[in-house]
Amino acid sequence: MHDPDLSSPPAPAPRPLARRYAVLLCGVALALLLASGLSEMAFGYRESRAEIAALQAAQADGAARELALYLDTIVRGVRDVAKLPWGQPGYGTAQRREEFYRLMQLEPAITDLQVVDRGGRERLYVSKRENDREDAGTPFDEPALLAVDGHAPLRYGRTFYRDGLAPFMRVAVFDGAGTVVATVDLRLLDELVARLHVGRGGRAYIVDADDVLIAHPQATEALRKRDLGSFATVRQARASDLAREGTHEIVDAVDLQGRPVIATAAAVEGPRWLVIVEQPRAEALRPALATLSRTVLLVALGAALALAAGIWFARRMAAPIVALRRATGRVARGDLGSPIDATTGDDEIAALAHDFNLMTERLQASYAQLEGKVAERTAELSAARDVLQSQSIELELLNDRLRGQVDDLALRREEAERANAAKTRFLATASHDLRQPMHSIGLLVGVLRDRLGDAGQRALAEKVEASVSTMESLFESLLDISKLDAGGVRPQVEAIDAGALFARLAQTWAPLAREKGLALRVRGAPPGHAPLLRSDPILLERSLGNLLSNAIRYTREGGVLLACRPCREGPVAGATCLLQVWDTGPGIEPAYRDAVFDEFFRIDDARGGAAQGLGLGLSIVQRSAQILGHPLRLRSRVGRGSVFELAVPAMPRHDLAALPTGLGTDTAAALAGCFVVVVENDTVNRESLAELLRQCGCHVLDAVSCEEVLQRSREHLRAPDLVVTDYQLDADGDGLDVVERLRAHHEDALPALLVTANTDGALVARAAALGVRVIHKPVGAARLLRAVCEAIVGATA
């Protein structure tokens, strides 16, 4: 049976449905309980605050009334004394003193009584502590109190302190002629406020019109002269002007010790005192806190019940779904034979269980059918697998054979490559060994020709020289082929003025064309306006020279055209120039258009005609074009002519004047007076070269070794202008070592030419690193002199 656990990833552990239901139900119930409880607590707290406010307002009002009554008793006593007709018979000073003492006896808070006349002078003073005075006439020290009359018969004075500590206050009453001033000891108010009970821990105290504490249950507090103007209760009471508005607001404040209290203030008219009633906050809010505690307890109890009920309901609700989940789990594990008990209940869950049982029955049937089909398909797949296995064996055999053939081909390719390399080595060796004597012959013939006086002999010498030149050309071509095949040629790409290039080619090949009666024309490269090409100048000039040589060689009549045209087609349009060599020769048949580039292939041989070339020129052109990356194209029409085309990258022309344009025409004049050192171990070559240079007016120092040069150079007062050296010397290393030593000796960038038959690429690279130009033997006198001249002129430029 199919096991789902093997083909599907394990299902994540389900989050119990009962828990989610429980969380939902309990959350809703708790939220409702919490909202109800919070609102109940908030309203309860507000109601408690209102009750506290009402209670404290009543207490403060009561205290203020009691205080007002206390003051009123004092004032009425003073008024009773003041109303009598003092000064009249029976109302003398003695009687007045007696009356004052009686008043002080009735009102213990009055400690002194004074009579002050309208002039503000004391007429009578009676005291409990001090000695009495009569008609002292001293000015009264609180004159503001004396502004009493029939309309305003009463004034309260400001608090003052006797002995610096004890608070007192004066009350002035108009007696019809002057003022009776009673001094009240405010310390007795301490007893009054001590009798006021404000809860268990509360208290009442009094501040005067200047917000200074004047009475407190703790008598010493009133002696501290504490300014309570910054207390919140006093500030609010002063701001609301209780006396006018009659409003009371409880204030959350701190008491004198900084403990939190709830306080209410009530004003006392007359002296503008405030009675502050305060109660510790914890005590005042105890009923509210008790209500809050009960509410919290009820909410907690309700929450516990809601939690239990929620869990019970959640489990009951989730039970059928859990049973269904277990059944689907059994089905998922492949057990289709355990139906759900759908006999209980008639709700949607029971209907779902019934449908589920029906579904499992159908699944069971489908599963059996599917198993049959799977067995059938499995048998078919087994047969197909056998066929594939046999085909695989055959393919393995074929593959082995192919692998053998590939190996065989690789062996053959290696053999071919070895053969090609042997051929290249043979060509290089042969050309090198033959070029050495040919070089000597060329030099000697040149010398001989100049010394011969007879015209016939000179003509003969010139023919010999021409033959030697032909052989040099042959060896040159062979050497080029060998170098190109050996990979020893590294193109030195630089900017080339097409105009100068075409001028040199025209100068070189025009004589030959004229000899054959052909016209050699040049197009598209006017001097000063020709495009600049990016290529190796030697390889490019050699390739174009070969093409021109070929064209002149095979054209009998008509002419040869050397043209430079910008490319106007293809992706390189505008950035490439097409260098074309047109001829009016016999043309090349399509069958030979590829073969003409093979080595030693000549159409005349194929046609059975006379041979005119070596068959190497186009091979060299093709190999050079491949190395340079210049596409080579051949178009031809038999009987009409051919065109060879090289696509060479062009570059924007900027300063053509900065590019070298070549040597002067008069080589001898250019070399006259130059000091040239010749190092050559071969005596014939050394003397020939020295003689050739002397004929051009050079001072020549020829030697076989560097030591000899250094020794003999002391005879000269100047440094050499050029060193011409062979590569292979008998002593002192090779020719490049000689150049390095001479440069070190003269501390100068001495120009040098290396004349050698060695075509090794490493040698060329080493010479290039030293800035030494290499000329491969054999080389003719004219070419050698041109190279000498270029080296000297290039160094001075």
Partner 1 sequence: MNRRLRTPALAGLAIVALCLAGDALPRMPYRITFLAEDDAPSRNAYSQFTAAVARTLPGLASEARIGYFTVGGSSTRARVRAAIDEHPDLVVVLSGYYAAAVAKQPVAVPTVFSSFEDPLRYGIVTSFGPRPEPRCGVSLADTLEGKRLEILHSAYPHVREVAVLATPSWADELGGRARLQAEADRLGLHATLLLTDDPDEVRTLMSDDRSPRFDAWYVPATHLADDAWRDVLDRLHAWHKPNIWASKVDVDHGAQMAYVQDTQFVWDEVAGLVARVRAGEAPGSIPILRPTHFTLVVRMTPGDGMPAPDISVVRRADLVVR
CB 193 → partner 1: shortest distance, Å? 14
Please give the single-letter amino acid code of residue 570: G
Among 127, 681, 695, 705, binds partner 1 (CB under 8 A): 127
Q: Is 163 in the site for partner 1 (CB under 8 A)?
A: yes
Give, in order, the Cα–Cα distances in Å from 263 to each of 42, 59, 234, 279, 285: 21, 11, 10, 6, 12
DSSP string, 729-779: -SSSS-HHHHHHHHHHHHTS---EEEEES---HHHHHHHHHHT-EEEESS-
Closest CA to 243 of 215, 213, 270: 270
Q: Is 8 in the site for partner 1 (CB under 8 A)?
A: no
Q: Where are the beta strands (DSSP E) in 270-328?
A: 273-280
Stretch that binds partner 1, among 216-224, 229-237, 430-438, 540-548 (CB under 8 A): 216-224
Q: Is 187 in the site for partner 1 (CB under 8 A)?
A: yes
Query: Strand 641-651 to strand 675-679: parallel, antiparallel, or no bridges (unpaired)?
Result: unpaired
Stretch that binds partner 1, among 213-221, 455-463, 509-517, 730-738 (CB under 8 A): 213-221
* Cα–Cα distance measured from residue 5 to residue 361, given in angstroms and rounded to the nearest whole number: 21
Among 5, 51, 72, 98, binds partner 1 (CB under 8 A): 98
Among 39, 138, 218, 429, binds partner 1 (CB under 8 A): 218
Omega before 778 cis (within 30°)? yes
Closest CA to 624 of 563, 541, 505, 529: 541
Stretch that binds partner 1, among 183-191, 300-308, 502-510, 573-581 (CB under 8 A): 183-191
Among 55, 58, 65, 101, binds partner 1 (CB under 8 A): 101
- Residue 108 or 404: the one with the smaller Cβ distance to partner 1 is 108
DSSP string, 53-98: HHHHHHHHHHHHHHHHHHHHHHHHHHHHHHTS-TTSTT--HHHHHH
CB 535 within 8 A of CB 693: no
- Residue 111 or 436: the one with the smaller Cβ distance to partner 1 is 111
- Residue 216 or 630: the one with the smaller Cβ distance to partner 1 is 216
Q: Is 185 in the site for partner 1 (CB under 8 A)?
A: yes
Q: Is 108 in the site for partner 1 (CB under 8 A)?
A: yes
Site string for partner 1, 474-513 (x = CB under 8 A): ----------------------------------------
Q: Is 454 exposed, middle or buried (0-12, 13-18, 19+ CB in 10 A)?
A: exposed
Q: Is 223 in the site for partner 1 (CB under 8 A)?
A: yes
Footprint on residues 66-95 left by partner 1 (CB under 8 A): 94
DSSP H or E run through 649: strand 641-651
Stretch that binds partner 1, among 159-167, 433-441, 525-533, 542-550 (CB under 8 A): 159-167
Among 219, 321, 471, 493, binds partner 1 (CB under 8 A): 219
- Residue 220 or 389: the one with the smaller Cβ distance to partner 1 is 220
Among 32, 54, 165, 379, binds partner 1 (CB under 8 A): 165
Residue with tokens 């000796």: 745
The pair of three-digit structure tokens given for residue 151, joined into one six-digit string: 């309309």
Q: In angstroms, how far is the first alpha carbon of the chain from the final one?
A: 97
Among 220, 378, 390, 665, binds partner 1 (CB under 8 A): 220
CB 232 → partner 1: shortest distance, Å? 23
CB 158 → partner 1: shortest distance, Å? 20
- Residue 94 or 455: the one with the smaller Cβ distance to partner 1 is 94
CB 92 within 8 A of CB 324: no
CB 55 → partner 1: shortest distance, Å? 27
The pair of three-digit structure tokens given for residue 732, joined into one six-digit string: 């002192």
Stretch that binds partner 1, among 96-104, 468-476, 504-512, 608-616 (CB under 8 A): 96-104
Number of residues engaging partner 1 in binding (CB under 8 A): 25
Task: Summarize the chain as % helix, strand, coil (round to 5).
Answer: 55, 20, 30
- Residue 96 or 483: the one with the smaller Cβ distance to partner 1 is 96
Among 17, 53, 55, 166, binds partner 1 (CB under 8 A): 166
CB 190 → partner 1: shortest distance, Å? 9
Backbone angles phi, psi at 56, to 5 degrees: -70, -35
- Residue 94 or 152: the one with the smaller Cβ distance to partner 1 is 94
Q: Is 184 in the site for partner 1 (CB under 8 A)?
A: no
Among 188, 309, 317, 448, binds partner 1 (CB under 8 A): 188
* Cα–Cα distance measured from residue 616 to residue 622, given in angstroms and rounded to the nearest whole number: 10
Among 39, 105, 429, 711, binds partner 1 (CB under 8 A): 105
* Cα–Cα distance measured from residue 738 to residue 765, given in angstroms and rounded to the nearest whole number: 17
Among 46, 118, 224, 637, binds partner 1 (CB under 8 A): 224
Please give the single-letter amino acid code of residue 302: G
DSSP string, 189-219: HHHHHHH---TTT-EEEEE-TTSBEEE-SSG
Query: Which residues, including other chains, have CB under 8 Å from residue 501's CB and lie 6 or more apart?
Result: 525, 533, 537, 540, 541, 544
Among 130, 210, 371, 494, binds partner 1 (CB under 8 A): 130
Query: Which residues, including other chains, have CB under 8 Å from residue 617's CB and lie 6 or more apart?
Result: 477, 546, 547, 549, 550
- Residue 223 or 498: the one with the smaller Cβ distance to partner 1 is 223
Among 10, 13, 88, 129, binds partner 1 (CB under 8 A): 129
CB 212 → partner 1: shortest distance, Å? 14
CB 165 → partner 1: shortest distance, Å? 5
Which positions lie near partner 1, rule CB under 8 A? 94, 97-98, 101-102, 105, 108, 127-132, 163-166, 185, 187-188, 218-220, 223-224
